[in-house]
A and B are shown apart, each in its own frame.
Chain A
Amino acid sequence: MDLIVQGIIKAFELIVTFDPEVLGITWLSLKISGTATFISLFIGVSIGTAVALNNFYGKRLVISLINTGMGLPPVVVGLFVTMLIWRSGPFGFLEILYTPYAMIIAQAIIATPIVMGISLASIQNLPPNLRLQILSLGASRLQMVWILIKEAKLPLLAAVMAGFGGVISEVGASIMVGGNIKGYSRVLTTATVMETGKGNFDIAIALGIILLILAFIINALLTQLQQRHYPR
């Protein structure tokens, strides 16, 4: 119990004094997970929409695969990404193992199926005749897709939240491909694990609390955006 109180006090101390190291770690977490979510948004929404709008052989299988991907264990992703970008691996020439880029890639791989699955479902949930109605009003195919995405923006925002929440709180892949290098690839989760390992529970708790606050702020912001579109 003492430890938790200590941790909370420590957290406030670190936050109100703008501890440069903690600030740096927090900012890096935001950048890496934000970029990864952004990439996954692009890939996930476009592929999700494409799958939802087209009929092709094996569509059900593809949807099952995407839904399975929504639950990809981060460590498994971390393992595969590590093996691919090893110096001896097929993408070793990129020399990105133990860099933030590798973390972005791994996190994007984790977030993409989540965003893809939710966008697929939300586009599929639109009335089936809506796309025909839009086309019949004279829209090009691209205009039609854009309007559908806009129509589905509420669930798509949920997809962003889910994706971002998934990757910012993820540790397994980040530590494997990022290496938890101080000031370079150390993010909130990996730092928490390390401090726990060191036995610095107060700092670990402080980092955990900062992570929670961060996730809360981002989600509150997106929820605010999402909810204000319901009938006036």
Chain B
Amino acid sequence: MKVFRSSKVLLTLMLAALLIAFGTSSVFAAKAAPKQKNIILATTTSTQDTGLLDTLIPIFEKQTGYFVKTIAVGSGQAMKMGEKGEADVLLVHSPDAEKKFVEDGYGINRRLVMHNDFIIVGPGADPAKIKGVKSSADAMKKIAQAEGLFLSRGDNSGTHAKEKSLWKKAAITPAGQKWYQETGLGMGQTLSVAAEKKGYTLADRGTYLSLKKNLGLDILVEGDAALLNIYHVIEVNSVKWPKANADGAKAFADFMVSKNTQKIIKTFGVDKYGSPLFFPDAGKKDEDLGK
């Protein structure tokens, strides 16, 4: 420690920090320099947590020279960002809200990208006896009747929206019930909570598969058309928000539905989990899915 002269400690410190500051700015500048090269992609946690975007985005950036800032939030918040013009392009899975979003003029060019599906998971003991039930709405009813603990995301994400639509179908109002708890957390954490508390929850298959090894939860209900988890890409309306990067948004949306990308999506996760996590759907219609 004798390098530091007694009275010059502060000065040395400040200099060191200054060096760091300069180093930092040069590094940042290299990436931030091209103007309107930044695309803000607001998306759901599931696309990031499964690692799909980590695979796709470097390819896109290399092809186009754009820099994508991925902000992984819930579908609800992602669309809020779009409404405010704080994002350029959305990759979300909350179809009803998406339709409204486009109808209200916030987004344009909503295109189907891919789907995977939701599953209802729960403890192996299955106290509400829902294993094998075909209809997801019936399964929800059974959980409510048996007052089996149910963990909800409660965060306005696409998963949460789907869960609410299932309760609606089952004609049950779970809010405020003792057996119904909202975590306010992401999918991965909500699954962990469900595992800890031995409760049921609704999860997307991708996240469940990537976490399976650490959880003690089984798939109890799957395959119902109502459980499809459909991802759309939406460009934020640059007429409404001139600051939005319309070109970049279009480029990214085009990339997501391109042949090559769809091929990557098709095989993503096979090597790791033995089965694909997403099914590419570009060019199809929503109604045709699940048939």
Name A's B-contacting residues (CB within 8 A). 3, 30-32, 34-35, 37-39, 41-42, 86-88, 92, 95, 97-101, 104, 149-150, 153, 156-157, 160, 179-182, 184-185, 194, 196-199, 201, 224-225, 228-229
Q: Which residues of A contact B38 (CB under 8 A)?
A: 95
* A interface secondary structure, majority: helix
24 interchain pairs, CB-CB under 8 A: A30-B20, A31-B24, A34-B17, A34-B20, A41-B13, A42-B14, A86-B86, A88-B85, A88-B86, A98-B71, A99-B32, A100-B24, A101-B28, A149-B10, A150-B10, A181-B69, A181-B71, A184-B31, A194-B49, A197-B45, A197-B186, A198-B188, A198-B207, A199-B192
Across the two chains, which residue of chain A brings its CB closest to B241? A87
Q: Which residues of A contact B1 (CB under 8 A)?
A: 224-225, 228
How far does the Cβ of A27 sit from chain B's closest Cβ, in whole Å?
Answer: 9
| Known A-B contacts A34-B20, A182-B54; A98 and B69 likewise in contact (beta carbons under 8 Å) | yes
Across the two chains, which residue of chain A brings its CB closest to B36? A95
Interface size class of B (residues with CB under 8 A): 35 or more
> Beta-carbon contacts of B25-61 to A below 8 Å, as 1s and 0s?
0011001100000101000010011000010010000
How far does the Cβ of B115 sit from chain A's closest Cβ, in whole Å?
Answer: 21
Q: Determine if B21 and A38 form an interchain contact, defined as CB atoms under 8 angstroms apart.
A: yes
Q: Determine if B241 and A225 form an interchain contact, defined as CB atoms under 8 angstroms apart.
A: no
Q: Determine if B13 and A160 form an interchain contact, defined as CB atoms under 8 angstroms apart.
A: yes
Q: Does B273 count as interface, using CB distance less than 8 angstroms?
A: no
Name B's A-contacting residues (CB within 8 A). 1, 4, 6-7, 9-10, 13-14, 17-18, 20-21, 23-24, 27-28, 31-32, 38, 40, 45, 48-49, 54, 57, 67, 69-72, 84-86, 185-189, 191-192, 207, 210-211, 214-215, 241, 243-244
Q: Determine if B7 and A150 form an interchain contact, defined as CB atoms under 8 angstroms apart.
A: yes
List the 5 closest pairs (A to B, CB-CB), nearest first: A38-B17, A199-B211, A197-B186, A199-B188, A31-B24
Residue from A32, A184, A199, A225 with most neighbouring chain B CB atoms (10 Å): A199
Question: Please, how many angstroms separate the alpha-carbon atoms of A180 and B23 in the complex?
Answer: 21
Question: Please, how many angstroms separate the alpha-carbon atoms of A95 and B214 in the complex?
Answer: 40
